[in-house]
Amino acid sequence: AQTVTQSQPEMSVQEAETVTLSCTYDTSENNYYLFWYKQPPSRQMILVIRQEAYKQQNATENRFSVNFQKAAKSFSLKISDSQLGDTAMYFCAFMKRPGAGSYQLTFGKGTKLSVIP
């Protein structure tokens, strides 16, 4: 079974500054995907960024980037130039690379990020 741990229940950052959210996971799988999802007060889970474990290059999406350390089973999210709209719960999630099986996501407990004007 896979587990995902987010050790920072809450964080805050000044607008325009950079913040890093931490995530560690435990798995015996070699091929898998990792995700960061954002959940604003509207409740809808929004995909922020995706990383495939077999790719050594860290994923980036505009202001969002990850630091993926496969050996350490670490997957942190860096948000640059933080904006007020980034205020939300952030969830780290794991998915085994699906063959014919389930596309099940395993989530961490989340980090509540507040961007301060």
Partner 1 sequence: ETGVTQSPTHLIKTRGQQVTLRCSSQSGHNTVSWYQQALGQGPQFIFQYYREEENGRGNFPPRFSGLQFPNYSSELNVNALELDDSALYLCASSSRTGKSEAFFGQGTRLTVV
What's the rounded Cα separation, in Å, for the pair 61 and 50? Answer: 9
Q: Does 63 bind partner 1 (CB under 8 A)?
A: no
Nearby residues of 61 by Cβ (< 8 Å), 6 or more positions away? 48, 49
Q: Which of 11, 27, 50, 74 binds partner 1 (CB under 8 A)?
A: 50
Q: Which of 66, 108, 113, 115 binds partner 1 (CB under 8 A)?
A: 108
Q: Which residues of 1-10 are buried (b: 16+ CB within 10 A; e: fewer)?
A: ebebebeeee
Check the CA dihedral 101-27-35-86 and report its sign.
positive
Q: Which of 34, 110, 113, 115 binds partner 1 (CB under 8 A)?
A: 110
Q: Which of 65, 74, 76, 105 binds partner 1 (CB under 8 A)?
A: 105
Name the residue type at position 60: T
Q: Measured from the CB of residue 49, what is the shortest distance to partner 1 in angstroms?
A: 11
Site string for partner 1, 2-41 (x = CB under 8 A): --x----------------------------x-x-x----
